[in-house]
Chains A and B, each alone.
Chain A
Amino acid sequence: DGGITQSPKYLFRKEGQNVTLSCEQNLNHDAMYWYRQDPGQGLRLIYYSQIVNDFQKGDIAEGYSVSREKKESFPLTVTSAQKNPTAFYLCASSPDRANTQYFGPGTRLTVL
């Protein structure tokens, strides 16, 4: 899992609540990513950020929001607008143009 930390490991949310997932890296990587993993579907890109104070929507950004105020941090907020948020969320960072990605340990979000 390298120098990328995600917290919490498990998160339970009631319907209608917003929750924020933390992602911190000490690898000095410029680029950071958020993915959602569902069984049998691989990884789907939610948001990415190539530099501080800039981020872009990925393939499934609806119902999610992010910020990138510091190089080390890229928190993801799952809003009440996300219809099916129960999933495993993975944060990653990349140091190179090839986009080699290094992943955190993940956060499993369950909506009750």
Chain B
Amino acid sequence: AQSVAQPEDQVNVAEGNPLTVKCTYSVSGNPYLFWYVQYPNRGLQFLLKYITGDNLVKGSYGFEAEFNKSQTSFHLKKPSALVSDSALYFCAVRDASGGYQKVTFGTGTKLQVIP
């Protein structure tokens, strides 16, 4: 079975400060890992993914995430937060082994960037 945990329901950060949204995962094999962002009453937008290779993945809007296999984590980061980054962020995982595997989503972390 695969699972993903986002331990913080909400993260508050001042505009211009670095931000981190945490994610840990559990899969039996190697993981494919994803981050999505959702603005109110909208669908999810794909930000970035880790498949293989470099542990630091760069994505849209200046976001990046670091894959840490020993800690089974995939935290989302941005060097300088913008008020427009305020949204709901979802981490997701799927097991890379075998054929079709569904994607399991976390429960989401609300990011509030304070002006």
Distance A100 CA – B41 CA, assembled complex (angstroms): 21
Interface residues of B, Cβ cutoff 8 Å to A:
9, 32, 34, 36, 41-46, 49, 51, 90, 94, 96, 100-103, 105-108
Q: Which of A11-19, A42-50, A67-75, A78-86 is near enough to bind chain B?
A: A42-50
Distance A99 CA – B107 CA, assembled complex (angstroms): 19
For B49, the closest partner residue in chain A by CB is: A100
Minimum distance in angstroms from A97 CB to a CB of chain B: 9
Distance A14 CA – B68 CA, assembled complex (angstroms): 49
For this complex, into which size category does the number of interface residues on chain A fall?
A: 20 to 34
Docked-complex contact B101 and A105, CB < 8 angstroms: no
For B33, the closest partner residue in chain A by CB is: A98
Distance A42 CA – B107 CA, assembled complex (angstroms): 4
